[in-house]
A and B are shown apart, each in its own frame.
Chain A
């Protein structure tokens, strides 16, 4: 079953693609088996992350970027996949996924595939299966994969680990210079977009962001993923052509200056290739995914090797505060 499913994905069957995305999202055995099979076909697409506070116009911007990739002024149109993540309710597990509402211009184009995704309890702006779903699109031959995050706010940095190019979308009137110098979301930006540039106050927003950028660029980006720090080196110092995130003003509602944004995205991709960062980022991402998987598997393996009685005994002593968590680990492993 899964062999033929993989085959139809690679040959471009959209129904099979949609079906596999569901299997992967649900972590079914069929989905996991297919991920193994498609892995050799991944690693070609340009992954573009789009993040920012709710209401800054992320979905509208994604819509416009996709339109431009489909109708380029020069060159051939690129095939575009969009993964749009919206929050799940922490109480019922349900979700209303509304990103498609802003993407109606893309309807009827067979070169575009939009998939909405609920965060399903995951923090950090992506769902647990987002990276795997992106792999499926990658294998299916989409040239550009845009990942739109939940839009929760300040610590949504998982996207920078996944994407090659991360756009952080701001809008006028959302905060002052203090917001701009806080750690977190702005640090991960490869390109900063001030959307809704027709609103009053856009100069202030732009100035605050410029001020923040002029202060410093860290030479090495370190992301925390599953509790582990993951360093993405910023190129060898001698040939370091450091990427300084440009600030671009757009109006996604009518597409104003989205062409300029596309140019910046392409320049960033070029920079990643020339500096070797493209491969370094890909490698760091795979290592981090691999190590997380290794940890998960080892823990599960170890857990199944310990009788429940003994395990519960240790947990009980923890709860009684007669054993510290460190001693507990020593005791179980020793």
Chain B
């Protein structure tokens, strides 16, 4: 008792069915001692925001390979805000073109990772982001 675990929601919004990356990251975060809530494929932004609220997570990880990130991510951020969950850090993985990254960061995304990103880097940056907002 008395311990505070980092809780992470890993979700795949949108319609692409490739969840290998999301599962690898989920497993890596587990091995880093975090509690990962995995929600599966084809989640709507509404489902993700609702799950983030119920599970009281610190971090939401979104995996998107469909190209719809500029539509889905702002919507997730908007819903989190509507739920007064601004403190939740958003990390995005998948295929995100470099030219979209600045706009996403501006909207409030904390980290963006493409194919081949080392899981150790993701773990460190999640920990650092929570440390700095304490």
Contacts and interface: CB of A to CB of B under 8 A. Distances in A.
B56 A96 contact: no
A100 B32 contact: no
A89 B37 CA distance: 14
A96 B40 CA distance: 12
A27 B47 contact: no
Q: How large is the interface on B (under 10, 10 to 19, 20 to 34, 35 or more residues)?
A: 20 to 34
Given A14-B54, A118-B5, A97 B47 contact: no
Nearest to B34: A94
B46 A107 contact: yes
Q: Which of A14, A18, A28 has the most CB of B within 10 A?
A: A18
Contacts of B7: 22
Interface stretch (B22-30, B61-69, B91-99, B124-132): B22-30
B35 A27 contact: no
Nearest to B39: A100
Given A94-B29, A100-B51, A128 B35 contact: no
Interface string B42-82: 01101100110111100000000000000000000000000
A12 B33 CA distance: 32
Contacts of B31: 89, 92, 94
A101 B47 CA distance: 11
The secondary structure that dominates the B interface is: mixed
B1 A118 contact: no
Given A27-B2, A128-B1, A18 B53 contact: yes
Interface residues of A, number: 31
Contact of B30 (A92, A101, A115): A92
Contacts of B85: 15
B55 A92 contact: no
Interface string A90-108: 0011111110110010011
Listed residue (B7, B40, B53, B55) with the most chain A CB atoms within 10 angstroms of its CB? B55
Given A18-B53, A18-B54, A94 B1 contact: no
A129 B1 contact: yes
Contact of B54 (A94, A113, A118): A113
A114 interface: yes
B37 A94 contact: no
Given A27-B2, A107-B50, A114-B54, A95 B40 contact: no
A18 B56 contact: yes
A179 interface: no
Contact of B4 (A21, A26, A89): A26
A63 B38 CA distance: 16
Given A93-B33, A98-B38, A108 B1 contact: no
B51 to A, nearest CB: 6
B20 interface: no
Interface in A107-124: 107-108, 113-116, 118, 120
Given A26-B1, A97-B35, A104-B40, 11 more contacts: A26-B4, A27-B2, A92-B30, A94-B36, A95-B30, A95-B36, A104-B43, A107-B44, A107-B47, A116-B55, A128-B1
* Closest 3 A/B residue pairs (Cβ): A27-B1, A101-B40, A94-B30
26 contacts: A14-B53, A14-B54, A18-B54, A18-B56, A19-B56, A26-B2, A88-B35, A89-B31, A92-B30, A92-B31, A92-B33, A94-B29, A94-B33, A94-B36, A95-B35, A96-B38, A97-B36, A97-B37, A100-B38, A104-B43, A107-B47, A107-B51, A108-B47, A108-B50, A114-B51, A129-B1
Interface of A: 14-15, 18-19, 21-22, 26-28, 88-89, 92-98, 100-101, 104, 107-108, 113-116, 118, 120, 128-129
